[in-house]
Amino acid sequence: MRSLLGCLFLVLLAVPAAADEAGFEPLFTGSNLDGWEGNSQIFRFEDGAIVGGTLKAPIARNEFLCTKQDFGDFELRLKFKVLGAGANAGVQFRSRRIPNHHEVKGYQADLGDGWWGSLYDESRRNKILSAADAKVVDRVLKRGEWNDYTIRCQGPRVQLWINDQQTVDYTDPDAGIEQTGLIGLQIHGGKPSEAWYKDIRIKKL
């Protein structure tokens, strides 16, 4: 009887998690980089994850692996880990490639010490739009291990969570800012470092 009750309890626990994933579709299959484009000398597929950068050499400049498809209102979920002293990375969204340039412009859910969980405007307004509370992030962040990032965009409102802890709730006051664009994975130029991303899935709102 005890084992039967235990099994029933586990089933009941699994139901909310499964329901919570309803409507999500994978952006990364875990086996190849189909549907993405970027510098293949910087980004690679390894152990079921997308990896940007290397711990063997400095990163010459910011690099981005981007979707080939645009997204507007959505909820994006993924796992990340960042390795290396001074490592810096981020997840671009509602972004655009800058023509004839390696940079991408648009919103970035930031990663790295001093930046974890903040909302940055990459190569556009070039500033933190909403800074996360470092003390709050420190309580939930697992450095050097896998963490969850959730990015939700609906109209001008952008919300970010790390490991289910909300870090940003920002409504853009600029009505002229584009509300559609690419999703991208960044490794920042600098010291030897790696940014790992996996379990990338999205639900259109």
Residue 7: pLDDT band by 50, 70, 90 thresholds?
Answer: very low
pLDDT tens readout for residues 74-122: 999 999 999 999 999 999 999 999 999 999 999 999 999 999 999 999 9
Residue 119 located in a structural domain: yes
Q: What is the CATH number of the domain that holds 61?
A: 2.60.120.560
- What is d(CA 194, CA 183) in angstroms, rounded to the nearest whole number? 19
pLDDT tens readout for residues 150-201: 999 999 999 999 999 999 999 999 999 999 999 999 999 999 999 999 999 9
CB neighbours of residue 180 within 10 Å = 14
Helix locations, 37-182, DSSP H: 134-140
Residue 8 located in a structural domain: no
Domain of residue 49: give its range.
Answer: 26-204
Indicate the average pLDDT of the chain. 91
